[in-house]
Structure 1
């Protein structure tokens, strides 16, 4: 069975982890700061906080912005639930902005329309979680131009987008956002098994992220209140969480990050083969102009003349483990209970109803990809 996604590990990765097991601290050692510095070097961001998942990173980003009860946070429906749950963790309310059916990313026109209504009703969001779907950056310049004058914070959910570019710069430099959050789940651009990171250019946000991700506890003498009793002394200043990344995971991340550009180039080459192979078929393809800028975390087609369930089942029978990303967040029972209805965001719903995720990962061989192409072409005849 050819999976839709798969991690890639080599001997250098294994050696890096074994070195920590044999010679270093397993947690709270030197590898996490080294990994954070490497992420900053790669993205161009000033500060980084490594955490134990992308979900933790989104939660911490919301906490750092002071999001709480009475605040509104907006995101898109076509994402994993964590993109919205992070606001609910902070007791804020959540709403969604529909996607552009061509880019599959947040639609700036729809955002502008919704912001105008919210401004009239005094219900503007405190933050917007922008999802770079499948690895392609949103139109951050347009989004920033709409949000900045209204003092709306921007969090980039860049879980899919490590290695992607926007206007010639790596996603994560935070030129048009307050923070960006990455995921290092095994099927992402690089992996730390589980893990994530928050990057920002703002010292105050970085300090808050560090605090909330580490129990709310600090040993920093400049931040301690009252008398410092001795060199062992620490204080809990806020209610934080144990979202720390281990040094084992950081060592793997450091090794993987050295190869991220080659990983993304391989994904781009495979994506181009898919685009060429499926041209003229009864499917809607991703934008071809994203070949050189997307990180290509996912390659997704939309069926235009065939039943999705039938095609899905036939591909699995042919040994191709296609997947679907994602059930729109607002369609989950939990969100339905909050009052959302499937047709509230028709573009996201339509995309979901016709979408299939094809296998795409670094170790996908050309022979395997040819088998995927042949199976789909045969089914769609």
Structure 2
């Protein structure tokens, strides 16, 4: 039986100019998450973040005032690692390696180092990822949007999906963000025509197909079911958690595959989640899908087995992903509408929905699938009401 539970969440505001260091942002989010559940910083003995995060677990521990750490880790693969941080926390708690673990992500992704710029690839120089980029960047495939555009064009060719289909997803998530006061695009919905008229970034991706660049931080507190009973907030069970790295996996550039649109890494995760949770993902109440680019959301939902290939666009057009639809997705507005904190704000939204405290509260929100970045080595979770 699953014993690890999420008991606290915290976040800073989502902005384009935070005016603070990434360490301070992470510290603010962590203190907010601990205050949310009523635990003192000294009770924390574990910390997990991503390799891309500039704040090490040790520096966060010193800044916030954690107790002695018995578990501290960093997870690979950028946006694909968000759910994996919580998975590591779950494993640590259930193995007795730590009692209370903080998972966090803080970044100045707009005012500081921007992941969408080609020059940012230089941060990988000297390792195997840097060598891989060296085979692509000279030919113009130097940014995440470029990698995604090549795959998206093939997916469109094979399934009949159009730019307007991608645009409907962007419109939907901006609609959700427009009624979420925490969202950067609060009260700023868009129309499909505005999506179609937005500038090309890399065809077939418009500007409004691409996630935001956001300053901010989010933190999550994981502890045991026994300790959760005495805390301030209703706990959320981590019913399942998994990672997936496919054969011939590349970091967003999976061109060595027989089918470049095959999101095998997501299927690897989905199979594990269903086995652990003991249910089909189609039975869950809602989904939080990592929306770095609109085409990858549709492809990821199909890889997760929620729809047959090419059919997610029809579910979108039929309104199934709306707040009152049969399978709502990203009620907070996602990365396109709320903010981009490498999936951590999606994890926090899933917790709020299951608690019943979300801005756009769903009528049915007892169970959720939460995903991390698609087209990269990835991870996912199933969360449920405790």
TM-score when normalising by structure 2:
0.24
Structure number with bigger Rg: 1
Q: Please, what TM-score do these two structures have when normalized by structure 1?
A: 0.25
